[in-house]
Amino acid sequence: KQEVTQIPAALSVPEGENLVLNCSFTDSAIYNLQWFRQDPGKGLTSLLLIQSSQREQTSGRLNASLDKSSGRSTLYIAASQPGDSATYLCASAYSGAGSYQLTFGKGTKLSVIP
């Protein structure tokens, strides 16, 4: 059974700082890994998707990396802004019974202080 862990559970940083969020998974046989952002009480917004054959993906100030052999992914946020405050979730997609499902971590709650 796939398990996904995110460390730290919460993080508070001053505006402008660069930061890294960590995600680890137990089963390396994944199709892809996806990072999401969730604002309080809202749905999930997809940030970055890394296919299993890729090592990293970039979008603006965000960079996500994937190391399947060690079962780890990181999300790097450059020059953080107060608007980045949210909970960040990682999810691995793996197969089962001919389809696939996402397994999520509990998330990292990020607060960027002005």
Partner 1 sequence: DAGVTQSPTHLIKTRGQQVTLRCSPKSGHDTVSWYQQALGQGPQFIFQYYEEEERQRGNFPDRFSGHQFPNYSSELNVNALLLGDSALYLCASSFSSPIEAFFGQGTRLTVV
Number of neighbouring beta carbons within 10 Å of residue 31: 14
Q: Can you tell me the distance from the alpha carbon of 84 to that of 40, in angstroms, rounded to the nearest whole number? A: 13
Encoding tokens for residue 74? 């990181």
- The residue whose two tokens read 């990072």 is 35
Pick one of 79, 95, 111, 113: the residue that binds partner 1 (CB under 8 A): 95
Q: Which is nearer to partner 1, 3 or 15 (CB)?
A: 3
Q: Can you tell me the distance from the alpha carbon of 44 to that of 52, in angstroms, rounded to the nearest whole number? A: 21
Pick one of 22, 28, 54, 103: the residue that binds partner 1 (CB under 8 A): 103
Q: Does 45 bind partner 1 (CB under 8 A)?
A: yes
Q: Which is nearer to partner 1, 31 or 76 (CB)?
A: 31
Residues that bind partner 1 (CB under 8 A): 4, 31-32, 34, 36, 41-46, 49, 89, 91, 93, 95-107
